[in-house]
Structure 1
Amino acid sequence: MSSTTRFPGMNQPVRGILLICFAVMLFSSHDAVSKYLAGFYPIVMVVWARYVVHTLLMLAVFVPRSGLLVIRTKRPGLQAARALCLIGCSLLFTAGLHYLPLAEATAVNFLAPLLVTALSVPLLKEQVSRGQWAAVICGFVGVLIIIRPGGALFTPAVLFPLGSAFCFGFYQLITRRLSETDSPTTSNFLTGLLNSLLMSAALPFFWQTPQLSHALLMIALGACGMGGHLLMTQAFRHAAPAMLAPFSYLQIVFAGLIGMLFFGHTPDSGAMLGILVICLSGLAAAWRHRR
């Protein structure tokens, strides 16, 4: 069965590209708001706000349409593991943003697609070509260029986005498995719900009453996260993932622009070179996988 038969809108790649561009712009905005709020509130509270708003919005959008079908899963254990991977990714990446510039932290986190390539061999028993292995190695070289010894980013804080990339890599592998049995709506809703419950249990130990402007930003945080995921889901209905993969790296560009405009940080030449190496490595891996 062809992709256009499975997804009627797959013959509209331009629409898919526009949707993925808007999605990554929302993700960059989400990260910028997280970085700002992490300067005033505990990271647990920032992540809690993101998931609670996300879950409430999904309740409002999908439950009236699908009812209890939205929470029915054939693999609850994998759904729980997926949620834990994503909450680990959120906590580690937000912690990293507290110490690191937005563009550099985002670039390090984009090791995740390369880690998926490497981890798919032992976990999914997939075959990986020499070219894909070369792309994985080059991606790690790009990270070393960004955090080069003697540079400003050569601190333990860089372990946060590295850990986030590993969590996100496992998250993507589990998502691939769940796609065989559960719908994306069910997976996203259950992940948001489980993580909202988990973070709510920890919230009393970290609670600080937010200012009104900060409370509005917390609502915007969840809205950006959910909006980005919805747009990305729709993008894949109009174009193949291999076609859209290069445009996801625009998130690093958006992160750099937002970092300059709102945080006054411009990556130095070494960081720019490392970011370029990571982007090219990810694109090369996607191209080899498409072939």
Structure 2
Amino acid sequence: MSAAHAHRDLYIGIAATVLAAFVLAGMDTIAKFLMRSLPTEQVVWARFFFHLLLVGAIFARRGNWSFVRTRHPVLQTVRGATLVGVTLSLYSAIRNGSLAEATAIVFFAPVLVTVLSGPMLGERVRHWHWLAVFLGFAGVLVIVRPGFREHDSALWLACVAAVSLALYFVLTRRLRGLDSERTTLFHTTLGGSVLLSILAGLSWQAPTAAEWAVLVGIGALGAGGHLLLVRAFHLAPASTLAPFLNAQLVAAAIYSAVFFNDVLDLPFLAGTALIVGAGLWVSQRDRRALHRPAP
């Protein structure tokens, strides 16, 4: 590949990552509006079910159904269940709380992954990983300010979402090389759709025609955002794209301020800076350790 093509792919990958961040934050924003009239479980069900239909249709358009078969059904099912936990917790948090604050707390997950990778994957946990966890959790506490504000419970639900997302990332790493990316992406939404069909059925409320259209749109935005990320990471190195994933925090903050009149106060900005800074710092230290010559 020529240098010109490599640079073009790099810029396209970065643009796709930023676009995906705004698309996914937009999906969460629309979901928050929709949860004013529909149960949370029903909105999350649409997020998974219509995502599944769209991804399945795209993958099967050439008649190749190999993505349906998995060699690790239990691991795929557990991974899908953790993502259900992420989305249910996050949407329960943003139903009554701030979208920007909940999103910032969920971004603590990548820092947690570095610690969970030790007992669950056998990877070495270094001292800077623990320091990053401490800094990131300090950022969470600055945002939540337990006991000093309303909607504490909503923000603690965002903490549950962060832990669930960290488990999801670890299980994703476990599946690397065991199943194809298409198989993993398909089964993530398949397992979630089955589980959420049961949960949503317990509190089902008949949507209007307009609400059905929005429910389909939520699933389409979810699928579109994830497909953009898959494309981005195909074109550019993960280490290059990782900082641009934080664009979702920027998007969530903009949407919160514009659509919900949320005030982005100093504690939110300081806590977000600690969480993002911890993630970027540990990523940089890991890259330096990886490229350091062995003694």
Match of 1:229 in 2: 226
CA distance in 2, matches of 1:224, 1:133: 35
CA distance in 2, matches of 1:148, 1:44: 28
Match of 1:121 in 2: 118
Given the alignment, which residue of 80, 89, 92 partners 2:89? Answer: 92
Match of 2:292 in 1: none
Alpha-carbon distance change, 9 to 211 in structure 1, aligned in 2, over 3 angstroms: farther
Match of 1:24 in 2: 21
Match of 1:162 in 2: 159
Q: Percent identity?
A: 36
| 1:201 Cα deviation from its structure 2 partner | 2.3
| 1:153 Cα deviation from its structure 2 partner | 4.9
The DSSP-based 3-state class of the residue aligned with 1:12 is: helix
The answer as to whether partners of 1:10 and 1:239 remain within 8 angstroms in 2 is no
The answer as to whether partners of 2:101 and 2:155 remain within 8 angstroms in 1 is no
Letter in 1 for 2:252: A
CA distance in 1, matches of 2:146, 2:163: 22
* Deviations, residues 108-127 of structure 1 (Å, cap 9, x unaligned): 00111011011011111111
Q: Does 1:173 align with 2:173?
A: no
Match of 2:56 in 1: 59
Match of 1:130 in 2: 127
The answer as to whether partners of 1:107 and 1:278 remain within 8 angstroms in 2 is yes
The answer as to whether partners of 2:86 and 2:162 remain within 8 angstroms in 1 is yes
CA distance in 2, matches of 1:29, 1:83: 22
Letter in 2 for 1:216: A
The answer as to whether partners of 1:16 and 1:244 remain within 8 angstroms in 2 is yes
Q: Does 1:248 align with 2:257?
A: no
Letter in 2 for 1:133: W
The DSSP-based 3-state class of the residue aligned with 1:18 is: helix
* Deviations, residues 200-229 of structure 1 (Å, cap 9, x unaligned): 223332111222322221111101111111
| 1:136 Cα deviation from its structure 2 partner | 1.4
| 1:150 Cα deviation from its structure 2 partner | 4.6
Given the alignment, which residue of 195, 199, 223 partners 1:198? Answer: 195
Given the alignment, which residue of 196, 204, 217 partners 2:214? Answer: 217
TM-score normalised over the length of structure 2 = 0.92
Q: Does 1:272 align with 2:272?
A: no
The answer as to whether partners of 1:132 and 1:284 remain within 8 angstroms in 2 is no
Match of 2:67 in 1: 70
Match of 1:186 in 2: 183
| 1:164 Cα deviation from its structure 2 partner | 0.7
| 1:285 Cα deviation from its structure 2 partner | 1.4
Letter in 2 for 1:127: R
The DSSP-based 3-state class of the residue aligned with 1:65 is: coil
Alpha-carbon RMSD across the aligned residues, in angstroms, is 1.7
* Larger CA deviation: 123-132 vs 69-78: 123-132
| 1:11 Cα deviation from its structure 2 partner | 7.4
The DSSP-based 3-state class of the residue aligned with 1:64 is: coil
Given the alignment, which residue of 259, 264, 280 partners 1:283? Answer: 280
Q: Does 1:147 align with 2:140?
A: no
Letter in 1 for 2:62: R
- Equivalenced residue count is 285
The answer as to whether partners of 1:19 and 1:231 remain within 8 angstroms in 2 is yes
Alpha-carbon distance change, 199 to 242 in structure 1, aligned in 2, over 3 angstroms: same
Unaligned ranges ≥5, structure 1: none
* Larger CA deviation: 188-197 vs 112-121: 188-197
